[in-house]
Amino acid sequence: MHERTIAELAHGLRAGEFSAVEVTEAFLRRIEALDGRLNSFITVTAERALEQARAADERLRRGGGGPLTGVPVAHKDIFCTDGVRTSCASRMLDSFVAPYDATVVERLRDAGAVMLGKTNMDEFAMGSSNETSFYGPVRNPWDTERVPGGSSGGSAAAVAARLVPGATGTDTGGSIRQPAALCGITGLKPTYGRVSRWGMIAFASSLDQGGPMARTAEDVALLLGAMAGFDPRDSTSVDRPVPDYAAELARPLRGLRVGLPREYFGEGLEAGVREAVEAAVRVLESEGAEVREISLPTTPLAVPAYYVVAPAEASSNLARYDGVRYGYRCEDPRDLEDLYMRTRGEGFGAEVKRRILVGTYTLSAGYYDAYYLKAQKVRRLIRDDFVRAFEEVDVIAGPTSPTTAFRLGERLDDPVTMYLSDVYTIAANLAGLPALSMPVGFAGGLPVGMQLIGRHFEEGRLLNVAHQYQLATDWHRAAPPGFE
């Protein structure tokens, strides 16, 4: 059962080959047997999952249901779930049980998807390795001594290990795409505003975007079709019709103009990653695409701009965790100041505290103009680079990550090197563009991902390109040894 994709499970469920309860039980058994090696789940909701599966079976028996009815999914533990702990992988929210569902959770539930549980992540989505979680690091199923990427590493590892056919993630600077690349699956960051952020616990509000993760572009298209759409509860949600992403997959690539930024193939890119990405580009050419070199000259500015903007917004968003209203509270505070200081000092991990301090500094009097305002101006220049590039090409392609999965603990004491893991992904968030990572091979036995970046709201084109590539290759079918 676990070898089937979402599309294959949906077909079997509608054909009556098996029931939603049978599918759900099979994945729950697999999680129980194998997740001890990965730590990809924080909470498993077995009882609720079986209840939802029985409801899906009834819906299918009546002739109703859609492409996700009865299909198991998991949610990154940053999405609020009614009656289920939503921790953000932090001690600060270890005891928090949300009284409502996030819009993403609500829409997938209404589409008939069955929630198996909540996946592990970097604390408050701050990290590129899934090592900052209060519940311990997630391990990469391709090599359990290596990281799965972050911050959506739990979702990526669970999908790669076939513990769940699809999962949700969030992407602030590459947190869907980078773990998708390191774990050998497909992950999509939609255009900013395409998927509602309501009920998704905020890290950096102008950058955060929820998105789907699965093994194939076809599966990602099915998930995105249910997740996307206008939400009046989210002031950043865009009121724009949602296309049928699955219907766009069959479009041929003949005439597609693919741009390769020279800045994405320079110093710091591992040779094995470069070779796999260049081979993938040749496959696109064989399918009829036209490839040309382009330039995105502000690429070197993306990481420094991001690490001013994102911590500043995090400093503001995380100010609410003060021990007064909800979440962790220190014991026996002497006074209000002691309550604030010890609650935040004990409740947040080291990386979260580092980003709060940096963000507070950049927003402080005398430094706002020098750092935050300048970073926002650079952000506009980055966006203008993409606007010019898309006058010449339809899609931009390049490596998702400069390296394959690195070893656990290897970069924890070197935050700058850790931050550079997202050197190719951050610019799409600063510009609000859709971007996708798909598996394109291996280097040293570890997965390599290629990133595709598109114009605003052209997720369908990215999914189409990835799907056509996956029809011509089989990298997306590879399973980690021991998790086949």
Mean pLDDT of the chain: 97
| pLDDT given at position 413 | 87
pLDDT band at 235 (very low <50, low <70, confident <90, very high): very high
Terminal Cα distance for the chain, rounded? 11
Question: Token digits for 311?
Answer: 């911590």
Per the annotation, the verdict on 205 as an active-site residue is no
Question: Which is catalytic among the residues 175, 196, 315, 401?
Answer: 175
Q: What is the pLDDT of residue 228?
A: 98
Q: Residue 426: which H helix or E strand, with range?
A: helix 426-431
> Hey, is 314 helix, strand or coil?
helix
Active-site residue (options: 19, 76, 128, 237)? 76
Confirm if 432 and 407 have CB atoms less than 8 A apart.
no
pLDDT digits (tens, 9 = 90+) for 139-180: 999 999 999 999 999 999 999 999 999 999 999 999 999 999
Residue with tokens 């100010």: 319
The active-site residue out of 40, 133, 151, 152 is: 151
CATH number assigned to the domain covering 6-258+392-477: 3.90.1300.10
pTM, to two decimals: 0.97
pLDDT tens column, 411-465: 988 888 898 899 999 999 999 999 999 999 999 999 999 999 999 999 999 999 9
Domain limits, the chain: 6-258+392-477
Percent pLDDT > 90 in the chain is: 97
Q: 457: alpha, beta or left, given left = phi > 0 and alpha = psi -120 to 50?
A: left
Based on the residue annotation, tell me whether 377 is a catalytic residue of this protein. Answer: no
Question: What's the token pair of residue 343?
Answer: 């609650």
Query: In the annotation, is 374 catalytic?
Result: no
Distance separating alpha carbons of residues 256 and 243, to the nearest angstrom: 20
362-386 pLDDT, tens digit each:
999 889 999 999 999 999 999 999 9
